[in-house]
Copies of this chain bind each other. A is one copy, B any other.
C-alpha cells in the first residue's frame, strides 16, 4: 500500500486562488470564540474577521481594540436588523446551542454563508428549521465539527477506504474533558433549553460524527446509558456510554464524560487489521495514528495542526471557488436525530431505532 506520512499535515481540499479573503462576522464572543476561533482566523490564509457580534458592547469593543481589521462591533439586535452587512461575507455562529437558529436565520436573511458550531441547535425541530431556512435562502451552511478537516482524520478515512484494515467490524471511541472546572453551575450548558443536553450532546458528538465521517455511513439504531455523580450535573448526563449500530453489523461502543482527564481515542477494528488515533478530538494536541494491516504496520506522530484554522480555511477556500461545503446542514441533522435517540434510549433504558 502506498502511503505518504507527510500527507498527515496536507490540505487535500486546498485550491489556489487570487480571490479576496472571506470576511467573517464572529457571532458570539464566549471563551471558545476568543481562545480558539479568533486566533485561528488571525492565522488563516483565506479569511479575515471584520465584525464582532456580542450582547456586551464593552466586550466586543475591548476585543476589537486588540485585533486588526475589525470594522464594526454589533449587538445581536443590530446584527439581526442587518447592520454592517457590507462589511462581512460570512458568519461564524458560536452562541449557546439554543440560540443558533436565530443567528443562522439572520445570516440567511442577509444572504451570508454560515459556519455554525455543533450541534446545529438544541432541538431537532429548531435544527430542521435552521437548515430549511438556509436551503430556501440558498446560503451555504456548514457545521463546525472541526475533526472533518483535521488531516489525521482524513488520512484515517482514506486508509480505511483503501482497505488498509479490511472491512470494519468494531469501533471504539472515547472523549473526556473537565469542563465543570471552567464553567459554573449557572452555565447555559446545564440549561436543557439552551444546550439540548450535556455530555452526549456536547462531546459525544465527536466520536459519533467522526465515526460517521470515516465510515461514510449513518447509525441505524442506538443505546445509551447516562450517569450523574456530581450535584452540578443532577438530572443531566455527566458520564455516558453509548452504542451505535451501523450497516452490515458494524457496532460502535463509546464512552464520554465531562468529569475525567482530558483525553480522546478512536479505534477501528477490521477483518484484516486495526487503526487507532489518540488525541483526535482536541483542537491543538499531538495526534498518534497507529495502523496495522496486511500491507501496513506503522505509527505516525504528525505535527499538530490548528484544527480551527483548517476548518476556517477550508470553508473560506470553498466559498472563494463557489463550491459546496461539507459537513452541511443535512449531515448535521443526522447527528441531531441520533443524539435525540440516544437521550430517548437513556430515558427508556432500551434500544432505539432511527427513523429511515
Interface residues of A (CB under 8 A from B): 165-166, 169-172, 174, 176, 221, 223, 225, 227-229, 238-243, 245, 248-257, 259-261, 263, 265, 267, 269-274, 276, 292-293, 349-351
Contact = CB atoms under 8 A, between A and B. Distances in A.
Nearest to A222: B225
Contact of A257 (B170, B223, B245): B170
Contacts of A254: 253
Contact of A252 (B229, B241, B242, B249): B241
Contacts of A259: 169, 271
A46 B258 CA distance: 49
Contacts of A256: 170
A127 to B, nearest CB: 27
A111 to B, nearest CB: 45
Given A170-B257, A171-B255, A253-B254, 4 more contacts: A225-B351, A241-B252, A261-B292, A263-B269
Nearest to A243: B241
A210 to B, nearest CB: 15
A249 B239 contact: yes
Given A239-B169, A253-B254, A269 B176 contact: yes
Contacts of A239: 169-170, 249-251
A229 B251 contact: no
A292 B271 CA distance: 30
Most buried by B among A170, A172, A259, A271: A170
9 contacts: A165-B261, A169-B259, A223-B351, A225-B243, A225-B251, A252-B255, A261-B274, A263-B269, A263-B292
A256 B228 CA distance: 27
Contacts of A273: 261
